[in-house]
Amino acid sequence: DAGVTQSPTHLIKTRGQQVTLRCSPKSGHDTVSWYQQALGQGPQFIFQYYEEEERQRGNFPDRFSGHQFPNYSSELNVNALLLGDSALYLCASSPLGTTLLYEQYFGPGTRLTVT
Amino acid sequence: TQLLEQSPQFLSIQEGENLTVYCNSSSVFSSLQWYRQEPGEGPVLLVTVVTGGEVKKLKRLTFQFGDARKDSSLHITAAQPGDTGLYLCAGAREYGNKLVFGAGTILRVKS
């Protein structure tokens, strides 16, 4: 049973560039959430996708956008990168519509460094 | 402002000692999860508690959800070096399952 997978593992970008991160949810899961974890802090919620639509959004600017595909996989896009966007980006999946509504399973993350 | 306050921020103990990590909030949560994260990896779910006053045990780890569902604790008995890591608590509010995380407790168990 494959868990949550993310790609790439590491990424180095320059200020002003754009980046796309990818996530495949755990088998049987249809909801994908994205989090940003800065060094030494807990993850911060960016947004959540279900049925190819954004259901909830955290306090992140419009430079952060996403997409969910019919196979439930998801992308996170960040435009006009800033130095402060350097962080570990985590994808989490959960099975909506079951009693496990609140449980989320995380992927290994993508380490983004903006120089 | 951190909705979930974790304490202590850092804990360094000897193998065999007991420890407790606290997660406190002024807000009510429908559920609370505890995760363990190692450097460069994603958080791994340890437990979910949903009922006020609930106690769950996972081998040497005991988790408790406060009666008012505003706080939680993680107690580790006879800590081992393999317990070393970042422990995160995360709460889910009534609507949807967006998780609010605490800043984490870094645990180091020395042999």
Question: Would you call A105 an interface residue with chain B, using a CB distance cutoff of 8 Å?
Answer: yes
For A7-36, the pLDDT digits (tens) are: 999 999 999 999 999 999 999 888 899 999
Beta-carbon separation of B104 and A42 below 8 A: yes
For A78-106, the pLDDT digits (tens) are: 999 999 999 999 999 987 655 555 678 89
b or e along A54-72 (b: 16 or more beta carbons within 10 Å of the residue's beta carbon)?
ebeebeeeeebbbebeeeb
Question: Would you call B48 an interface residue with chain A, using a CB distance cutoff of 8 Å?
Answer: yes
Interface-testing mutation among A26, A53, A90, A102, with chain B (most B C-beta atoms within 10 A)? A102
Nearest to A6 by CA among A76, A56, A78: A76
Chain B positions touching A92 (Cβ under 8 A) are 42, 99
**Higher per-residue confidence, B94 vs B60:** B60
Q: How far is B35 from chain A (nearest CA, A)?
A: 10
For B61-87, the pLDDT digits (tens) are: 999 999 999 999 999 999 999 999 999
End-to-end CA distance of chain B: 36
